[in-house]
């Protein structure tokens, strides 16, 4: 069976398919040692032009691109985790491991927990709202933090919900 480093490197390779001008995110779902789905951040299907950034199309009155964490921006892009979940069979999601190149947002965190994913491996730091969500829900899903050191993905720590830190 391949190592977790191998899977994180696959997620890093998957992010190269993203055409987002702001952030490339890749995600893979592994179950029983095999890749069952991949995803990357992208705009919804059936858009007329694959090269158009929806954040720029939804510019404000001054022509400035929509800022991050706004409802318009959140509605414009399908996240890598969402794409990977959409293209997987549910039976392959339950008990799986997910490797994603950035920390999941609150919505993706809820989807991963609801899908009964066993482990989520991500690069970076969880947003405080995600930590609060995990602390509140106390899911069986485990969240593993990774970093990049000398160009190589390295495991850092397991997130432990606040109520377990006694």
**Residues recognised as catalytic:** 81
Q: Which residues contact 63 (CB under 8 A, 6 or more apart)?
A: none
Closest CA to 78 of 118, 11, 16, 18: 18
Tally: H helices and E strands in the chain: 7, 6
DSSP letters, 80-104, are HHHHHHHTS-HHHHTT-EEEESSPP
The whole-angstrom separation of Cα 144 and Cα 121 is 5
Question: Cα dist. 133→39, 74, 165 in Å?
Answer: 23, 18, 16
């Amino acid at each position: 069976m391949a190592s977790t480093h191998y899977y994180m490197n696959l997620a890093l390779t998957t992010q190269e398919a993203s055409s987002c001008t702001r952030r490339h995110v890749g995600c893979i779902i592994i179950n029983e040692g095999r890749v069952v789905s991949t995803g990357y951040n992208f705009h919804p299907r059936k858009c007329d032009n694959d090269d158009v950034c929806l954040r720029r199309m939804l510019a404000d009155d001054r022509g400035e691109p929509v800022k991050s964490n706004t409802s318009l921006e959140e509605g414009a892009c399908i996240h890598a985790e969402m794409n990977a979940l959409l293209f997987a069979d549910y039976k392959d999601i339950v008990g799986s491991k997910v490797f994603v190149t950035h920390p999941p947002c609150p919505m993706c965190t809820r989807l991963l927990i609801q899908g009964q994913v066993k482990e989520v491996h991500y690069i970076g730091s969880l947003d405080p709202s995600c930590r609060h969500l995990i602390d509140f829900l106390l899911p069986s899903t485990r969240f593993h933090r990774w970093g990049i050191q000398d160009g190589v993905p390295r495991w850092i720590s397991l997130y432990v919900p606040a109520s377990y830190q006694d």
